[in-house]
Every structure is written in C-alpha cells, then in structure tokens.
Amino acid sequence: MPRNLRIPVEGGTLAGDWRDGTGTPLVLIHGFGGTREDWRGVIGNLPTDRPFVAYDQRGFGASETEPGHAYSHADDLLALLDSRRIAQADLCGMSLGGATALNFALDHPDRVRRLVLVSPLVVGWTWTSDWVARWKAIGTAARSGDMARARDLWWAHPLFETVRKSAAAEQMRTSIEAFSGAQWIHDAQRPAQPDTDRVSALSMPTLLLTGEKDVTDFRMIADALLALSPAVTRIDHEDAGHMLNLELPRTIAEEIEAFLQNR
C-alpha cells in the first residue's frame, strides 16, 4: 500500500506517495496543472512489487512554495532523491514533468538508470505563435482575476482534444478545476539554457512515448529529441493525443515496465 511523504525543500515542501518493492525505484513526475493523481491509472497497471515515488511538483497539488521564491523543478527532484536515499532512479516524466526529468538526467546522469519521457516538454523550447497566443489569452484571464475563464480556455485547448473525447474526460476536467492557476499569474522558476542544445549528451537508455494527435509543438519536440540523441527509442501511438497517462494508462504502463525490465 503506498504511503504518503512530505519533503522539505528550499522555499517549499514536496508532497507525494511512495511504495517499497524490488529493484530500482520509479519516480513519476506529472505535467503542468496536474498532480501525482494523474499517474493513478498507470500505477494500477504496474506490477505490485514495482517500487515508486509519485509526487506533486512545487506549487501543484499538495506541494507548497513560498511566494516569489526562485526555484528549479530539477533541484527539487534532487532533494527528493537525496531525502529518500535513492542513489539511482528510473525517471518517468509527463509533459512539464518530462522537462523536469530530462533536465535532471542531463545534469545528474549518474543518478538516472533509465529515462521515460511521455509527451515531453523541453526546458527552453521556443513555442509556435499559435501556442503563444493561446497561452497569453489564458494568462490574461488569470491575471485579471477571472480564473474560471482561464480554466475554461485551458480545458478547451487543442492539447486536450483527444482526452476530452475519452473516458478520462471527467478526471481531466476535475483536475483543471482543482488547479489554483498560480503559475498562469507568476512562475518563479529560475531561467535555464535550452536543453535541446545538450540532448546529444544524453547517456542513459530513454523511452519516448508520444501520441500522433498531439499538438504541433509537442510533435516537434519529440521529433527533435529522436533526431538529436541515439539514446532515444520512440513509440508513437495512433489515435492518441497529449495525455497518454490518462488516455492509455494500461498500454503505457506495459510499455514502461517492459522498458524498465529491458525487454
């Protein structure tokens, strides 16, 4: 049975769940606006002896951050591993969590045995004009105090087109309603250099899971990762979009487990 954890980090606290088991622990990192609950379907389809940590990134879910405190999600991950005395982990990051996992793996390759990137973002990515326009509209609504409007715009984003049509639609909408929206108003993440400039140095085996119906920016990110690093193996899912952990939890759980078992 998973147990709760709370880990103090500089300027905040991380909340999560963990389970003991056999082998290298799997650390699961959710996407923007989400929480560790987004991995519930995947975890339910992993072997019961698979050790894992699923946590809320700083400022999301039950994790906390001091207002205005500059931080790095990758530094928070390092603090989590050190606190749990995990010398080496398997990392699995979704979207924003993929950026965290990749950034950490590039900074601390000795701490990562295998890396799984699910519809990943990349630190420093230059977004298309369409993405920027939609993001600005959401931020404008949030900063004006109309958080309901901001959440409606996020829910209607093309990023979630396929999940809106899936059995996970209600879970996705509930997650968006629970999101505070604070990061739309101000996000104190420290600036970082683009990771695309150093992906070629990726050393550990890396599984890239993508959906053929994801939006243009994330398709371009996935194509770039595959082209830039020989360590990356890609599985592209027909008729799936961005939220693979909600749309195809059993399928990607099986793919992740096979990859971790080196099958």
- pLDDT single digits (tens) 31-61: 999 999 999 999 999 999 999 999 999 999 9
Average pLDDT over residues 208-236: 98
> For residues 98-133, b (16+ Cβ closer than 10 Å) or e, as one string?
bbbbbbbbbbeeebbbbbbbbbbbbbebeeeeebee
pTM for this prediction? 0.97
Average pLDDT over residues 238-251: 98
CA–CA dist 39, 79 (Å, integer): 21
> Quick one: pLDDT at residue 77?
98
Average pLDDT over residues 109-124: 97
pLDDT at 2 over 90: no
> Quick one: pLDDT at residue 68?
84
> Quick one: pLDDT at residue 228?
96
> Quick one: pLDDT at residue 136?
97
pLDDT at 263 over 90: no
* Contact between 28 and 239 (Cβ < 8 Å): no
Average pLDDT over residues 132-146: 98
pLDDT at 255 over 90: yes
> Quick one: pLDDT at residue 138?
98
Binning pLDDT at 50, 70 and 90, where does residue 163 land? very high
Domain range 3-126+189-260, CATH class: alpha beta
CA–CA dist 129, 134 (Å, integer): 9
> Quick one: pLDDT at residue 155?
98
Closest CA to 225 of 205, 252, 259, 196: 196
Average pLDDT over residues 127-151: 98
Average pLDDT over residues 4-11: 95
> Quick one: pLDDT at residue 193?
86
pLDDT at 115 over 90: yes
* In the chain, where the domains are located: 3-126+189-260
CA–CA dist 246, 229 (Å, integer): 27
Using alpha carbons only, what angle is made at residue 61 by residues 57 and 64, rounded to the nearest 5 degrees? 65
* Contact between 189 and 60 (Cβ < 8 Å): no
* Contact between 162 and 245 (Cβ < 8 Å): no
* Contact between 66 and 51 (Cβ < 8 Å): no
Average pLDDT over residues 200-208: 96
Percent of the chain residues past pLDDT 70, beyond the cut: 100
> Quick one: pLDDT at residue 192?
85
pLDDT at 125 over 90: yes
pLDDT at 247 over 90: yes
